Chain A
Amino acid sequence: GNSVTQMEGPVTLSEEAFLTINCTYTATGYPSLFWYVQYPGEGLQLLLKATKADDKGSNKGFEATYRKETTSFHLEKGSVQVSDSAVYFCALTITGGGNKLTFGTGTQLKVEL
């Protein structure tokens, strides 16, 4: 089956620190990969995506590269802000699989001044 594994949280960083949130996956077929973000009290929003190997998704200073050889899609940001405090979810969907998303358990990020 399909599964997504994320690093355990919470992750606490100081403002302007470098962020990495690890994500690895197992999948049958050809997955597309996503990072979603959930701010307190809200639904999930798409942060970035990559649909094939070696693609890099980027948005709002966040980046993630689809690494087929290591089955990974790690999220990075060079300088985090307090406003980045949220829960981050890695997810995958399989082409032709009804667009069903398989999510990781989420990683809570807290950024302090």
Chain B
Amino acid sequence: DAGITQSPRHKVTETGTPVTLRCHQTENHRYMYWYRQDPGHGLRLIHYSYGVKDTDKGEVSDGYSVSRSKTEDFLLTLESATSSQTSVYFCATQGGETQYFGPGTRLLVL
């Protein structure tokens, strides 16, 4: 357990509304990641950060943005949610050779 919390844990929203998911870590890890988990796809990387204000795109970044103003917080924003963004979102941090995962946020876009 690398001290990763995600909020909210569950959210229902409507198409077209903005949504922000928060990841908070207490381990002072430099690297942080956002993944989405969908049936038949495993986990896919959305965005990652390699330091404060340093971020880069992952495999499925369209429709998502991120920000990292402090080492401990990594925010994922859906600027205008779509039904295809209904998923479970996981945050992770890198400690040594291991990625540690948060408990996930289940997002439903109606």
Contact = CB atoms under 8 A, between A and B. Distances in A.
Given A98-B31, A103-B43, A42 B99 contact: no
Contacts, number: 47
Interface in B21-44: 31, 33, 40-44
Contact of B42 (A32, A99, A100, A105): A105
A99 B102 CA distance: 17
Interface residues of B, number: 24
Contacts of B90: 43-44
A105 B39 CA distance: 8
Contacts of A106: 42
B18 interface: no
B62 interface: no
A105 B100 CA distance: 18
B45 interface: yes
Contact of A103 (B44, B50, B102): B44
Given A44-B43, A44-B92, A44-B101, 7 more contacts: A4-B42, A43-B102, A46-B100, A98-B56, A100-B45, A103-B42, A106-B42
Interface of B: 4, 31, 33, 40-45, 48, 50, 56, 58, 90, 92, 94, 97-104
